[in-house]
Structure 1
């Protein structure tokens, strides 16, 4: 009897052991029984309040579990793989957006939401300026409104007309007095007329004095980096000294640079730099920075305002020369320069690390073209009397040797009958520095 009872006990223990094993999960140690954290949730679905909206509208997302419960408040919504805060999303651009949700360790499938351009029902034109001067650049912004009164900036996709003539882009150079009457149109809509007054430019009694360095150089010239370095030192100390790089013997040479060489560096010595077309910059130039900066201090009786901009494939330049006293024989020089030209430069100096050659040397202020005679066009005698002004507006095709029109600048000079620089102005096209007004000291 005792043996039979022992056998029965062993059968009971074995049965309990087998039941215990069969009730265990097949998961690895530490792994939850299901991704829903034991809640019984195994999948989720994200839905949008709208699958297509106009730009400016908002979407609300809902996350639903497979058991029908709403788990939105405990879920993370991702738009184009970036998590958003909360469940509402306001797109900032048109296009197709991919939406997913995550609840605990469960990820939903993706849905798409299409954001379309708003339906514009009205247009208006605005400007940051309440008035502009002759020679300034007038810039406009076009605002489109939808039926709900929401505003959108649509300048790039609208067409602007000024005084009955369509302009390129959203800005124009002002060359005459009188109000600008501006309208915008898009998709059959036309705005009301926006008026921008144009006033005259006023010259001061005296003008801040500027200076010009003309650097006669070439990529083959091993000592020329010395002058390039000196010009950088000048520019670090003064914003009243402007440089011109007149190249010879390389692919940046042109007829204008050769005329300057013949006039101001006839001996063909390199490097040579001439200040104000009057005096040679004394060697070693980096030790004589003050020679240039001292010439750009104080006042003088003549001055310039200058503006330039790229319009399509053209370069527009407005220049005004004003005279506080009679300056007979004065001439106007207007030249086109280009920055950022990369070319190997011979280097026999210790500057720029003493590397020879400098394989990616950046050549700035490179003379590309002269709109006037490079030695100057005569200003009519009646315009050089005391209290008079002479203005010119040039609209030329962008010079063919310009590599990058975004790096173009313009320099203008008043020179005397003796070719010496009386004053100068500089305009960096396409930047805030493009518009240079008369500057009093």
Structure 2
């Protein structure tokens, strides 16, 4: 009996010892890490806390790591900006990473500067201002801009006369202090404004069943504005076929007929007869002024016409070319028609074909270089002679001249009849 009691006592002692163990590095221990801040400025402190799975604060017994490097204690700071990964270990367990961001200390806004885009402009143009703080921040939206001492609305300004503009800005910072920028100067160049015309080049043919649509659209444009210059370039099996148009067709990438180009480098939107397309053409007679005018002096005697083309520059230009056409009106010939226009008949018997291209008087249909000085108030002039062939009615001949830039855009155009003496259309 004593032996049995002794054995029972030993077993009880073993069980008690096992159950009361603190577990050492037991597998059930977990730890998590928190920080009093997850975003600080450089050189500011963060305090880390470690908690075990039972919610007990074990900070004093934990080891903390920043970017996998152990630190002393549980307080950390960084002298450099960046994102840092923080973790803790305790009793053999490792926490998940916690991201902490240290930001650069913001530079106080103590001064501002103003800029203008562009820094010089032609009279009538629009300047756009910007305001930048010494800390790199844009404060344009919350600044007031002054031109020659007067506040303007918003951050843009439309110039009206030539001269020098004094521009500065003010801004109230977060401390309530009013900051004033240094004054900059913007040069406004003098210009001459001219009446603006739109050029329509209509690639067409008497055989072309859908070409009456463009002819009708041109009539609608003419009904809304007199500032339109039209040339009809007939191609194909056509009594008015103009063989010299190939280079121009290649330049614009023509793919079919009808095609109509506005100011040479913009295709007229299909269908040209829609209100939107009519407006597309009409709107090109307004907007930004071309600062370039064209005038012609024409004389016709017998079968010889002389055309003196003059170009006046309202600002400085470069890389310009001149194109001069001879046209014929009132050509009567049946027109194939698969449209609903002109009564929808097919063919349109006795259709009147106007502004038909008969000759290119300039050295190329792509233009010839304008030489000499092309600065403000300069003028260029050149005379052309047109020997009217027997199949062209001299009384129906008209002339078109226009100037194109380096992008092949027609800047302005003019038309003239025989024996006409034009002056520049200065506004």
SS in 2 for 1:285: coil
Mapped pair 1:359 → 2:349: yes
Q: Which runs of structure 2 are paired with 1:64-75 in the superposition (5 Å)?
A: none
Mapped pair 1:248 → 2:238: no
Mapped pair 1:418 → 2:407: yes
Determine which of 194, 198, 217 is the counterpart of 2:204: 217
* Counterparts of 2:323 and 2:261, CA distance in 1: 16
Q: C-alpha deviations, 1:245-299, integer Å up to 9, x for none?
A: 01111121123333322222432x1111000012111111111211111101253
User: Over the residues paired in the alignment, what is the CA RMSD in angstroms?
Assistant: 1.5
* Counterparts of 1:314 and 1:218, CA distance in 2: 27
Report the equivalent of 1:259.
Answer: 247
SS in 1 for 2:346: coil
Mapped pair 1:409 → 2:398: yes
Contact 1:246-1:260 within 8 A present in 2 as well: no
Mapped pair 1:396 → 2:386: yes
* Counterparts of 2:243 and 2:311, CA distance in 1: 26
Q: C-alpha deviations, 1:282-335, integer Å up to 9, x for none?
A: 111111211111101253211111122211220111110111222110011110
Contact 2:303-2:388 within 8 A present in 1 as well: yes
SS in 2 for 1:418: coil
Report the equivalent of 2:194.
Answer: 207
Q: Which runs of structure 2 are paired with 1:115-194 in the superposition (5 Å)?
A: none
Q: Which runs of structure 2 are paired with 1:290-329 in the superposition (5 Å)?
A: 290-298=279-287, 299-329=289-319
Determine which of 364, 376, 379 is the counterpart of 2:367: 376
What runs of 5+ residues in structure 1 fail to find an aligned partner? 1-203
Report the equivalent of 2:328.
Answer: 338
Mapped pair 1:289 → 2:278: yes
Contact 2:323-2:403 within 8 A present in 1 as well: yes
SS in 2 for 1:233: helix
Report the equivalent of 1:234.
Answer: 221
| Runs of 4 or more consecutive aligned structure 1 residues displaced over 4 Å after TM superposition | none
The Cα shift of 1:235 comes to 1.0
Mapped pair 1:350 → 2:336: no
The Cα shift of 1:418 comes to 1.9
Report the equivalent of 1:440.
Answer: 426
* Counterparts of 1:286 and 1:405, CA distance in 2: 32
What TM-score results when the alignment is normalised by the length of structure 1? 0.51
Report the equivalent of 1:109.
Answer: none
Moved more, 363-372 or 293-302: 293-302
Determine which of 273, 280, 288 is the counterpart of 2:267: 280
Report the equivalent of 2:169.
Answer: none
What TM-score results when the alignment is normalised by the length of structure 2? 0.52
